[in-house]
Structure 1
């Protein structure tokens, strides 16, 4: 499935007998066609995804404590938003695009990724958006940010995916890995709303904007959101395995990949190793490049974080890594990560 579309290439006539044409001339038929193609994609996405975007209002001790946006991801009323939007509340109010107000429980709140999962308390059937695969994103592809700050109409901004694999510090001080950077502006109240691809799939949950910088906004990648939602739905919180490392996505030199017969082009290089943690006890060192964990490829920091799920806690698992261009394996016993 492709998340992009092709613009027709405009043609310009430079004949001196022709009316003024070229880049500085008035829009011609081809220019109008380009605008129509772009407009059709954006409006089509908004028509499909807009009804699933909700406003979220938080009250504490009977007073308004803030608001933001969210997106319905299951028709029975399961919704994603930001952790900083719900602010530790147990219940919130959702307002749909048509102005319908519904009460929802906060099933779980994960400040480490700035995500929260909600469920509408009433028996409902609501329009739901589909979570896409953020691992397939490409820089430069269209990104559409949708929010519902007023509760009656969706606000829309557009741009492109500016960068992938960014890290963003959460309110707990821990880093949110595999963050999508976009230049689609975020309006006030759009936190927690979806960042959507041209295919109409949610590729991120809008989370932050750098104040004072133009066109720098961030969204938690949809694959991270899917993982967090699944953990909260099963356990009521996100249980994570801990091995005590800090890492960054790094390319594997092609000559080494060819010599070792590796199909992947990237891995997770260890930038730091907690000397009291399981990784250090197993013999891992800063500079090692992890390429697999428990037999599954690790191509990025995001892969490593998602692989360290609750199923790995108190188990002995294999870690394959590269050290000075040689492939090695150690066995490691992850422990449960302490709550922030």
Structure 2
């Protein structure tokens, strides 16, 4: 007769350790996860990261509001103003009128591994300070933001999220905030997403220094298009897709460089452009003011144009 008792005891120890970890994280980080309320427009969650009231939330939570209310788990209600929002990463930075607030620390999302514990804290459907737990299901996902731009390096988790969790914390077992919860897939089970904490750090730095996230701008829109192998070979690239360009802004960098509607962008400064996502990733703040070489396909012919990138005028 088999004896399962040692295994049962081991399982119980593991469960006890898991439960203790989740409880400790909830106790440590929970006081720093607030409800963000927008007058007449519902609510979401936010993470307090400084004792004097810096709060991270989602851009879609605050919308176009400039003033919001931050309700703390322990009962305090603070007025807050929106310092900056970045719809391209679905993040917003608030400054609440408070002091000596409980805070959570941002961690390094670059060190994460699939399968490690992920704990979500927020206010789903108005139920304050709700804790759910799961694992990191995948890393490096891409998710379309409210602006239409893809958010890169998104964390996928099966920790349950619901409306109202948006802007709340995704936390590692160490207690470090590794992401800001942003979305779930309606109708799916256990497929939820968070903006990685390293992206949060970038947006926070840009907003505090410049009031907005700066990005370079070509002055056009694009879609993905397949390219024939002979074209790829002629352009000396290995990719089989590129970006077909349209909606050229009059007087913008692309227009001044001579780009025309229907041109297909193959490479930018020698780097393959496989579609809108890769192109947008290249247009970061470091590229502002830089002159870049555009290798294009126009009416079956290859050509090169130089464009000087500007700062995107609608960044806010």
Please state which band the TM-score falls in when normalised by the shorter chain: 0.7 to 0.9
Does the CA-based 8 Å contact 2:59-2:91 persist in structure 1? yes
Task: State the alpha-carbon separation in 2 of the partners of residues 199 and 280 from structure 1.
Answer: 53
Task: State which of 191, 197, 202 in structure 1 corresponds to 2:177.
Answer: 202
2:35 to 55, 74, 99: 55
The whole-number CA distance in structure 1 between the counterparts of 2:129 and 2:201 is 23
Render the CA deviation track for 1:100-138: whole Å, top value 9, x for unaligned. 10000011111111111000124x121111111112221
- Match of 1:65, SS state, is coil
TM-score calculated relative to the size of structure 1: 0.70
Q: Secondary structure at the match of 1:231?
A: helix
Q: Which residue, 191, 194, 200 being the options, matches 2:166?
A: 191
Question: What whole-Å deviation, never above 9, does each CA across 1:149-177 have from its counterpart, x for those lacking one?
Answer: 58885211111111111111122222112
Aligned partners of 1:193 and 1:205 also within 8 Å: yes
- Cα distance 1:58–1:280, how it changes in 2: closer, same or farther (>3 A)? same
How many residues are matched? 273
* Aligned counterparts, 1:120-199, within 5 A: 120-122=96-98, 124-149=99-124, 153-199=128-174
Q: How does 1:313-324 map to 2 (within 5 A)?
A: 313-316=288-291
The equivalent of 2:230 in structure 1 is none
Aligned Cα root-mean-square deviation (Å): 3.5
Q: Deviations over 1:282-324 (max 9, x none)?
A: x973599859xxxxxxxxx89x84x8543431135899xxxxx
Q: What do residues 61-84 of structure 1 show as CA deviations (whole Å, max 9, x unaligned)?
A: xxx211010001111100000111
| TM-aligned CA deviation for residue 144 of structure 1 | 0.8
**TM-score, with structure 2 as normaliser:** 0.74
CA distance in 2, matches of 1:146, 1:39: 15
Q: Does residue 285 in structure 1 map to residue 266 in structure 2?
A: yes
Q: Which runs of 5+ in 2 are unaligned?
A: 224-238, 295-305
**Alpha carbons of 1:318 and 1:78: their partners in 2 closer, same or farther (altered >3 Å)?**
farther
Query: Residue 204 of structure 2 aligns to a residue in which SS?
Result: helix
CA distance in structure 2 between the aligned counterparts of 1:143 and 1:242, rounded to whole angstroms? 36
Q: Is the 8 A contact 2:268 2:292 kept in 1?
A: no
Q: Which segments of 5 or more consecutive residues in structure 1 lack a partner in the other structure?
A: 1-15, 248-268, 292-300, 320-330
Q: Aligned residue for 1:260? A: none
CA deviation map 1:193-237 (0-9, x unaligned): 011111111111101110011111011111111111111112222
Closer/same/farther in 2, CA of residues 339 and 286 from structure 1, 3 Å limit:
same
